[in-house]
Amino acid sequence: MADSRTSYYLPLLVVLSTYFIASKYVFDKVNSESGIIIDELFHLPQGQLYCNRNFTYWDPKITTLPGLYIVSSALVGPYFDCTVYNLRFVNLLASCINLLLFSSILKYVYFNDNLKIVLQALSLALLPPLYFFSYVYYSDTLSITFLLAFSRLCLTNRYKFLMFIFGAFSILMRQTNIAWIAMVFGHKFLDIFIKSSRVFGNVYITNIKLSKTSLIAQDVDSSKVKRYYDLGDVFQAMKYHLGTYFRTFFKFLIYQDFVTLLTHCILLISFVVFVYINGSIVVGDKKAHEATLHLPQLFYFSLFYGFFGLPYALAKLGSTLKLIFSQKLRVFLLIIVCLVIVHFNTITHPYLLADNRHFTFYIWNRWFGKYEFAKYATVPVYVFLFYSLYDNLRDQNCISFLLPYSVSTILVLALQKLIEVRYFLVPYIILRLRFVRPSYKIVIFEFLWYVLINVAAFHVFFSRAVYWKDFDDAQRIIW
């Protein structure tokens, strides 16, 4: 046991120390060579006000809740000067905590192979858009910190009060995080919903006196109870529970699960009350972020997966192509549906066309916006990547996860008019944590791939300047 702990904690300590030292060097360079970076124009003054215990003023241009500023006021205000450097440093510390949380979650899922777990945690911390925002005063890094902490507690159903606190603060960081809390709730509920129908509705074992914690309830009965369920199982469970008036659902529901679901319900209901009182999910500048049906956002997310998940897409290339050719009619119909969606529902936000400080500006204007055929020509790529993503998930994920995840992803992405790389971070990280256990080859490929992208991104950031009339300092190109 001691050797096992040493083989895990020693590499983790070495990797974390190296990560912090290298990141601190880049952090100092970012702070010495760049002024205010885009939305920091709003975040930094607000953060400094909170840091100095002024909680009365609110910049109407800010659309997120004050979680970032509250944390800053707690970590910086009492101990350090409320400088730009110190406020940004909060996110650098959060990125180190993220590395530890990634490792803890992977350790819980994989149990052993400690070195591989630590290397994967490092790669996830280095996920280029996430890694970059560890250097600026945005809410994304801390948002993911609280979501990861919330998710880690949900895995063990322990420390309900802390679960509530982390869940609440994840919402205070970004309101859209409520969708991921709803996803965890839906996953837990559906899991109990299906399993209870399988256990108590199984004709082979209904006459057996069954304990809630019995082995049968833990998926060992091969006749009816299975590890992964599909959509058909959801309908069968619904039919069963409606017929029994949900009595057996509560028989299967243990106290720990009940309290966990209740904690989620309190968070969800509280958020509904907030939206009712506020009149919108957005605070501040509501007009700039009105909910708009924008289904191609799901297609752009597939491109995000294809680029940052390249090692996994390539590893499954052969089986993905076989899957596609075995479902030619479905693929053809999916292409038709996607073509219809991009024709009638492609939306271009004015910010996308005007703000040349983001990589998305150049991608859009040099492909989608430049050629009329581009949005149609990219459809086969979307379809291939959807199949690739499914291929990486299908063997180890149940409908109890896939259904709530799909609904939450649609709510978070398909109602956003503006294309922002940051919006894809959480849905991608969730999937990445649920991919099949990778080989060392894939893990090393992923690490080197992210290092290469980060080097290129920071090279552009430091070497290419953009000048705006509204800013005295040179502006930089970011994700």
Q: What is the pLDDT of residue 215?
A: 42
Instruction: Give residues with Cβ within 8 angstroms of 146, minimum separation 6.
Output: 67, 166, 167, 169, 170, 173, 177
**C-alpha to C-alpha distances, 400 to 190, 240, 427, nearest whole angstrom:** 5, 17, 16
Instruction: Look at the block and give the residue holding tokens 């290339």.
Output: 317
SS (H, E, C) 55-100: CCCCCCCCCCCCHHHHHHHHHCCCCCCCCHHHHHHHHHHHHHHHHH
**Beta-bridge partner residues of 466:** 475
**C-alpha to C-alpha distances, 159 to 153, 156, 179, 256, nearest whole angstrom:** 7, 9, 22, 10
* Cα(292)–Cα(350) distance, integer angstroms: 14
Report whether pLDDT(396) > 80.
Answer: no
* Cα(389)–Cα(447) distance, integer angstroms: 19
Q: What is the pLDDT of residue 210?
A: 42
Report whether pLDDT(216) > 60.
Answer: no
Number of H helices, E strands in the chain: 23, 2
pLDDT one-digit tens code per residue, 158-188: 888 999 999 999 999 999 999 999 999 999 9
* Cα(90)–Cα(72) distance, integer angstroms: 7
Q: What percent of the chain has pLDDT over 70?
A: 92
CB atoms within 10 A of CB 245: 8
pLDDT one-digit tens code per residue, 32-77: 988 889 899 999 999 999 999 999 999 988 999 999 999 999 999 8
